[in-house]
Every structure is written in structure tokens, then in C-alpha cells.
Amino acid sequence: MTTTEVSTGASERATRTGLYLAVLQLVFTLGWTTYVVYLPKLAADVGIAPAAVILILMLDQAIFTIADTAMGIAADRIAPFAGRLGLFVGVLAAISCAAFVAMPFVAGIGAGAQAPLIALIVVWSITSSALRAPPLTLLGRYRAKPQVPFLATLAMLGYGVAGAVSPYLGVVLREHDARLPFVISSAVLLLTALGLSRVEFEVARDTSPPTPAEAAKPLGLVPIAFIVAMVALALGYQLHFAMNSAPSYLRFAAAGELQWLMPVFWIGFNIAMFPASLVVKHRGGLIVMGAAGLLGAVAIAAAELAGSLNSLIAAQFLAGAAWGCMLMSAISAALAIGSTGAEGKVTGLVFSALALGTFARMAAVAGGLQKMPDYAPLLHWAPVACWSVAGAGLLVIAAARLQGVAHVKASAGG
């Protein structure tokens, strides 16, 4: 077999890895949408007040904030042993899916099932964290660095597609019994998760992972600053898309049109990631994150000041494109920053930051912040501040790292 054939085969297996991760993110995110759609009814069936539903969702995000990082750390410990990561994810996915399937059946028992339903939700929240950061460690552990941005794009494509179809899914599911959607989504997710063992075998065949002796080094100031910026970016996304986008559209369109307008953000998200991955490949994830943060802040400001539906649609498309660039490059940057054996830990911290941003947005909703006139300007312009400050900070970090690399090269040359 020629070198070209070996390289082509490895490239094809790398693409399959990315597509697999895309499907996993797609199915998981759609499962989350299914859960959010049906949770009010499940809660009502067991006698939980409607006002408490937002508290349950906040509990989920609080668990994700902790569990995502914990699962990433566990993946770092397991990944050096070929085949163990797939087994780890598969077992936890089975527990997660079993808890998910049981929810509507337990809720059907009635008022006496409050505690069992909450217990199932907690188990599902904890174990489902194994489906986010751990599979992505495959990219950092086994794939050549130039491949990572494109594969991260494919992985996040599933997340973006799920975001685009979620409004339609929410409309369709409300008319059906919860049990069948929960069973179908769990079955598909479990089959996808169980496929990780084969994917892991294929990628391990191309390269050798770090040995168990190569322990992860403590994280320094750059990773900490990176995660702080990621929290700010996540909060900006949550406030803009989840809280402000629908009211902005309702200035120019009827409520029935939202299911067609909200996906515009995700269309921009999915399209922009591919060209941005080429920039990340040559310039690094931090630079793209920072630039996208600043451009996204401009797009959000344009959306807030839009005077027509067409200009609002264009601004939302650009904001979604910026968020796609930020999230894809964040995964690439996390895998690069954690390349000493902490890929899972840093990637887990990225997902924890996303969960923390969601928690903060839900807390604002639970507190009725969006209904208080005094805080309306804050909610509308806070996303601009979050993305611009984080973007500028990331560019400063990227510039400092480049200067450090240049200094080292100059010293070596001298």
C-alpha cells in the first residue's frame, strides 16, 4: 500500500469520526429539546407546580456545569487505554437512556411519583454529560492537529442542525404522547453512543495515544482566561438568542412566523464554521474566537437597532455565523490547550461554561428580569458587552502567545 493510499484512508476515517460526532451531538441535542418540550406536562402529571419547571431546568444546568468537567477529567484518565473510552461512554449512555425512557412512564403514575421523577432527571443529567466532552477527546488524542478544526466543525454541525430544527420539533411534539418520542430518541442515541467503540478502534489504528505515564499538567493562566472568556461568550449567546431574538422578531412579524425566523441564526452558524475552520487551521482557535466575538457584538447591535425585518434577518444570520465560529474554534482551542493530556478536562470546561451561561439566563427568567422595565436596556445590550469584552480579551491572549512563540524562536535562532 502506497503512502498516498494510507494517507487517503486515514483522511476518510477522520471524516467518519467527525460525522459520527456530528450525529451524536445532533441526537443528544434533539433529545434535550424533546425533554424541554414535555417537562411541563410530566411535572404537571406528578403534581409539580408550573412555576417549579424552570427550577428543574436550572437544576439540570447546575449538574451539567459540574458533571461536564468531571466527565472530561475521567475521559483523560481512560483515553490512554484503547477501547476503554468507548466502553465508558457506552455504559453511561445506557444508564442515561434508561433514565430518560423511564421519565414519562413514571410520571404517568401520578402525584406519588414526584421523588422518582426528580431522581430520574438527576441521573439522566449526570450520565448524559458523558456524551459531550469525552467523545471529543478522540479528536485531540488521536488526530493530527491540522485535522482538528475541520473535525470540530463537523462535530458542532450536529449541534447547529439541531438548533435549526428545534422550533419545528417543538411544534410537532406538543401534539403527541411523550412516551414514543422519549423511546425513539433514547434508542437512536444509545445506538449512536455504542458506536463509539468502533470509532475509537478506527482512530487508534491511525495513531498512538499518549501513554498513561504522560499525566496532564496543571492548567495555567491562559486556560483560566480562556474559560472565563468562554463563560462570557456563552452568557452573551444565551441572552441574545434565547431571550432577545423572539421579541426582536415580533416587532416585525407575527408569532406564528417565529418557527421560520428563529432558524436563521442557526443557518448562519452552520455555514460560517467551514470557512472559519481553515483560518483556525493556520492561525489558531483563540484568534478566530476573539475576532468572531467582536464581529458578533456588531451583529447583535445591528439586530437591536434594526428598522425592518430584512435587516433584522441579516443581522441574526451574521450573529449566528459569529457564534458558530466562536464555538467551533473554542473546541479546537480547548483541544490544543489541553494537548498535554488534559483534552477532556479543558473541553469539559467549555461545555461547563455553556451550561453556566444557560443557568444564568434561566435564573434571569425565573427572577422575572425580562419583565422589569428598568432592566430592559441591560438585557438587550449585555450580549454586546459580553461578546465584545471577551473577544477583545481573547485577541490579547492570542497576541501574547504569538509574541511568546516568536521570542522563543528568536532565542533559539540566536
For the chain, domains (ranges, CATH) are: 1-208 (1.20.1250.20), 220-337+367-414 (1.20.1250)
pLDDT score for 40: 92
d(C-alpha 388, C-alpha 386), whole Å: 6
Q: Which residue has the cell 411523550?
A: 178
Q: 358-390: buried (b, 16+ CB within 10 Å) or exposed (e) per residue? A: bbbbbebbeeebbeeeeeeeebbbbbbbbbbbb
Q: pLDDT tens digits for 334-390?
A: 988 887 778 889 999 999 999 999 999 999 888 888 788 877 788 889 999 999 999
d(C-alpha 337, C-alpha 346), whole Å: 7
Residue 206 pLDDT > 90 = no
Helix spans in 207-284 (H): 221-237, 246-249, 258-261, 263-283
**Predicted structure pTM score:** 0.89
C-alpha cell at 83: 477501547
d(C-alpha 327, C-alpha 350), whole Å: 9
Q: Identify which of 92, 101, 97 has the alpha carbon closest to the alpha carbon of residue 127.
A: 92
Q: pLDDT tens digits for 76-94?
A: 888 777 667 888 888 999 9
What would the mean pLDDT of 212-236 be, rounded to a whole number? 78
Q: What φ, ψ does residue 337 adopt, rounded to 5°?
A: -65, -35
pLDDT score for 86: 81
Residue 61 pLDDT > 50 = yes
C-alpha cell at 168: 419545528
CA distances in angstroms from 67 to 10, 79, 194, 396, listed in the order given: 33, 18, 20, 30
C-alpha cell at 221: 493562566
Q: Tell the burial category of 200 from Cβ atoms under 10 Å away from its Cβ (0-12, 13-18, 19+).
A: buried
Helix spans in 46-132 (H): 53-78, 84-107, 114-128
Q: Identify which of 407, 386, 383, 348 has the alpha carbon closest to the alpha carbon of residue 77.
A: 348
Higher pLDDT, 216 or 280: 280
What would the mean pLDDT of 319-329 be, rounded to a whole number? 96
Average per-residue pLDDT for the chain? 86
What would the mean pLDDT of 119-146 be, rounded to a whole number? 84
